[in-house]
Chains A and B, each alone.
Chain A
Amino acid sequence: MIRFQNLFKRYPGGHDALSDVCFDLGDGEMGFLTGHSGAGKSTLLKIISLIERPTRGQALLNNVNLAKVSKRRIPSMRRQIGIIFQDHQLLFDRTVFDNVALPLVIAGYRHQEIGRRVRAALDKVGLLDKEKLNPVTLSGGEQQRVGIARAVVNKPPLLLADEPTGNLDPELSWDIMQLFENFHQVGVTVLIASHDIELIKRMDHRILTLNKGRLFEQSSWELD
């Protein structure tokens, strides 16, 4: 699904965010991306979601070289990725339902199909009864779950999450992680950037650690 080969990312001004990063995340795999803030986690996710381009080396998504994706093809590439943000990035001028429906509207689904899929997604994250509310009235954990519902509603093969539990207490964080686990179990590839080491240790998945732009693979008992 994702393959990085000797990838470098240098920002204008000379800061090296990623240096010689190599890793593979196979179809249906789930992995965590850890590291201190500023270690390059966000940059790595931004390269996969085509917000940033690599300076050198290769980044492949489904065997497509991301450095060569034209501007016009970026939208269709992004529709294959469900992105979950730390700050949810919900639109507060519309209901929960309309927020979750957005990817389907963009993709041009039929009205009835949108209703069916949005309710299925909201059901999965346990918010079926809140579809008519404005997301501003929801708690932080609920808002994050709306964000997840929006990311999975058009069934993308890849889920990317950037600190999805950053603002949540441990119990809510665990619930959110279980949601990702569920998607992983039905075959979705999941990559989660998080610095919540305790939480990551409890989940038994691959751990990719970034340190000053360099990537190491670690086992859960190696984490400190």
Chain B
Amino acid sequence: MSPSKLTNNRGAADSSQPTSPLMAYLVNHAQVFFSSLGKLYRAPLSNLMTVAVIGIALAFPMGLYVLLQNLQAVSGGWNGATQISLFTKMNVDDERAAELGQELRQLPEIESLHVLSRQEAMSEFQALSGFGEALDVLEKNPLPAVLIIHPTAANSEPVQVALLVEKLQSYKEIDIAQLDMQWVERLFTMMEIAERGIIVIAILLALAVLLTVGNTIRLDIQSRRDEIVIVKLIGATNAFIRRPFLYTGFWYGCLGGLIAWIMISLSLSVLSGPVQRLAGLYGSDFSLSSMDFVSGLSLLFISIFLGLVGSWLAVGRHLNEIEPS
């Protein structure tokens, strides 16, 4: 802002001016703060449309971001939980599997080990897969015993863990040593891509908000051209003339941000029921968490910032063109 803003209320011809310049400045700000809101209220339909456009443009990336956060929260527990599953060969019985378990526990690389006997594997599969009755038809248990291994933290790094897998694979009882890490890694990579994508969308839509506010303010300035000329002739500073337009931009941003907040909250509450049911089907008690207060406030601040910058651009570009002639 130009320094003239500070001298806005000084220099009137009449020296008996009763208020201090600072006081007058603040009073004017307060007046414009409310009067610009009143102006929006007096043209509700067109302003509501502008505000709604801003709200939707902001709600879209922010909503995606909240969903992603949820996904990260649900998968966060898996990060670092490197797990190796050893499937025994079919000729290895539960007894031998338990012995092998004892043997492997001695290895320094292994933090903990859990043996899932063939019978346990069968019961678990019956419980979770939904194929329980179909399995009853089988005469023999088709499932091998499984040894579930958690390596120590030092051996959870990709290189060490690969060595460990190789070592375990070499036991003659072991059919497959499977590292249950890869899909987690893939998920995290996908989420990283999604995050980047959301950032790109957010930047594009923020630009759209900027242009929407800028254009609306530009039209407003043009329709009030005569008024601007008159107040310039009466001795209004540029800062004084600029102020109502900047506050209008502020209100657009503020109200647009609130609408975005409401839309996100509503959308999440619509989604939360089905999501909870879906999670229930996977045996999880996960529930969709809505946007927290801090994120909501940041959304509001970003929105206000965009509103201010948009109006600032319009005002800076178009106000100086209007001079009395």
Residues of A whose CB lies within 8 Å of any CB of B are 49, 51, 72-73, 75-81, 83, 89, 91, 93, 102-103, 105-111, 113, 150, 154-157
Q: Which residues of A have CB within 8 Å of B17?
A: 107-109
In contact, A72 and B4 (Cβ under 8 angstroms)? yes
Contacts of B23 in A (CB 8 A): 108
Q: Closest 10 interchain pairs by CB?
A: A108-B24, A76-B11, A108-B9, A79-B235, A78-B235, A80-B13, A107-B12, A75-B237, A106-B236, A72-B4
Knowing that A76-B12, A105-B31, A108-B8 touch, tell me 11 more A-B residue pairs with CB under 8 angstroms. Answer: A51-B323, A72-B7, A75-B232, A79-B12, A93-B227, A102-B234, A105-B28, A108-B9, A108-B28, A113-B19, A150-B234
Are B324 and A75 in contact, with the CB atoms below 8 A?
Answer: no
Binary CB contact string for chain B from 196 to 238 against chain A (1 if under 8 A, 0 otherwise): 0000000000000000000000000000001101111111111
Instruction: Give the CA-CA distance A80 to B17 in the complex, in Å.
Output: 13
Q: Which residue of B lies closest to A108 (CB)?
A: B24
Q: Which of A106, A110, A155 contacts B235 (CB 8 A)?
A: A106
A25 to B233, CA, bound (A): 22
- A-B contacts, 24 listed (Cβ < 8 Å): A72-B3, A76-B11, A78-B232, A78-B233, A78-B235, A79-B11, A79-B234, A79-B235, A81-B235, A89-B229, A93-B227, A103-B234, A103-B235, A105-B31, A106-B235, A106-B236, A107-B14, A108-B17, A109-B17, A109-B19, A109-B24, A111-B27, A150-B234, A157-B13
Cross-chain contact B230 with A76 (CB below 8 angstroms):
no
Closest chain-A Cβ to B31's Cβ sits at a distance in Å of 8
Interface contact B2-A110, CB-CB below 8 Å: no
Residue numbers of B with Cβ under 8 A of A are 2-4, 7-14, 17-19, 21, 23-25, 27-28, 31, 226-227, 229-238, 240, 323-325
Count chain B CB atoms within 10 A of each CB in A73, A109, A150 and give the residue with the most.
Answer: A109
- Chain A positions within 8 Å of B27 at CB level: 108, 110-111
Chain A residues near B235 (CB-CB < 8 A): 75-79, 81, 103, 106-107
Within the complex, the shortest CB–CB distance from B38 to chain A, in Å, comes to 12
Q: Taking A106-B231, A113-B18 as contacts, is the C-beta distance between A156 and B324 under 8 angstroms?
A: no
